[in-house]
Structure 1
């Protein structure tokens, strides 16, 4: 690519045992809804959905993604244990495939998206609408979409403008080395 900046492919994941939000490499989003009655088989459902999202040549979706960005496990929530189980499954999958991933704490993601590190999900959805005209079916998709954009922004190819103070918040995340 002489004279052109590399275009990166990034997937955003808002991991949850009941409703995992996925932002695909093309910017589309979906939610993987699981049923409690399925028990630990929900982990397999989520793993399979993430496998499709990150692709791979064997799935005829083109090359695997350059980076996956996930929201971190909440530290003070009763949901931390099941979310940690989902993280373990997904991180194992990504490690096996050699796909680098970053983990962003919720407060950092909220500040990146809205300029404020706390609050409910409404400001996140409103910010997505204001910046890119996007609306989502649920807050899982909203978070996943912002995670994808945080990764693209970190890699130097943002799809829209973000104030510098908000962009600087991304320095708090632990970013892996990504081949440029």
Structure 2
């Protein structure tokens, strides 16, 4: 019963985060993410915000990513990659969405926010030397107006929120990774 409550709570937090990121006109959303010995991420960037609001360095956790070097403006306007969260000493157990939140920025400003998600949480159990891979879909649609981004060079950033079993959520971030929109 406790596990069901914990998983329901984690899913509710993940839904709230995804909803806040996708809400038009909402310039900022706050989280209560922190780690012992790490930095806080107090704001989830929204359309037009500075992407550096997302950056955090968490002792003992790192994120690497693999994204295509190019994405086209036609089709459904999405691109797919993957991120890997690795523990270099931290022990984190909890629940996260199986897909990372992906942001696209130009000149340090968020121009595309994470796609909406409708997924169940997955268990995360990281200890030193252990990695976990998450899918990471992004969009080349402007967050203001929804049209395709202009052709050019952009940067991709990603975030994973781990709702810990034994403490406040942890936000692990990574990027930038280059992306050319054609």
**How does the TM-score come out when normalised to structure 1?**
0.23
Higher share in helix: 1
Higher share in strand: 2
**How does the TM-score come out when normalised to structure 2?**
0.23
